[in-house]
Copies of this chain bind each other. A is one copy, B any other.
Amino acid sequence: MKNSILGGRFLPVVIACAIGASGAALAADPDEIIDYRQGAMQVTKYHFSTIADMLKGKIEYDEAAVKKHADVVQLMSTLVKDEFPEGTDALAGETNALIDVWDKPDEFADKVAEFEETAIELEKAAESGDKARLAAAVKDVGSSCKACHDDFRQDDE
């Protein structure tokens, strides 16, 4: 079932078994997974933006903290591929994820992989103590976020 981009908010439709022809039943209901997914994005955003703010001098640079923040971003990047099971699209609950996440899985997987790779470099850069390397890594992670969001997230702002 192809879906065009649907605007606005959606009433949760709890018919998870009918949505998404593939594989295992969801262990958690769609709303729970969506809440988790959005929470994961919030966590990633916070730790990533804190590194960026430290590099900008908006907050005091703390090398140990930067490493910790990078560790969190890197761990979170490894979870994204499991945050979009079948049955958690906008017909199943309130999410900005576009149907292309599931209709264009290879392209989506490429975006996720890019995030994972840039996050690994972010962690290495933080570990190295080389601020220029870190700044470049921050830029690349940010670009990977944007690239995925441009194609796979509904922009409602």
Contact = CB atoms under 8 A, between A and B. Distances in A.
Given A39-B46, A72-B75, 18 more contacts: A24-B60, A27-B53, A27-B58, A27-B59, A28-B46, A28-B50, A35-B42, A36-B45, A36-B46, A38-B39, A39-B39, A39-B41, A39-B42, A39-B43, A40-B42, A40-B43, A43-B43, A72-B79
Copies of this chain present: 2
Contacts of A45: 36
A57 B39 CA distance: 26
A106 B42 CA distance: 28
Nearest to A27: B59
A27 B50 contact: yes
Nearest to A36: B46
Interface in A26-67: 27-28, 32-33, 35-36, 38-43, 45-46, 49-50, 53, 58-60
The main secondary structure of chain A at its interface with chain B is helix
A27 B136 CA distance: 22
A30 B32 CA distance: 25
Contact of A46 (B32, B41, B49, B50): B32
Contacts of A38: 39, 42
28 contacts: A24-B59, A24-B60, A27-B50, A27-B53, A27-B59, A28-B46, A28-B49, A28-B50, A28-B53, A32-B46, A33-B46, A35-B42, A36-B42, A36-B43, A36-B46, A38-B39, A38-B42, A39-B39, A39-B40, A39-B41, A39-B42, A39-B46, A40-B42, A40-B43, A71-B75, A72-B75, A72-B79, A75-B75
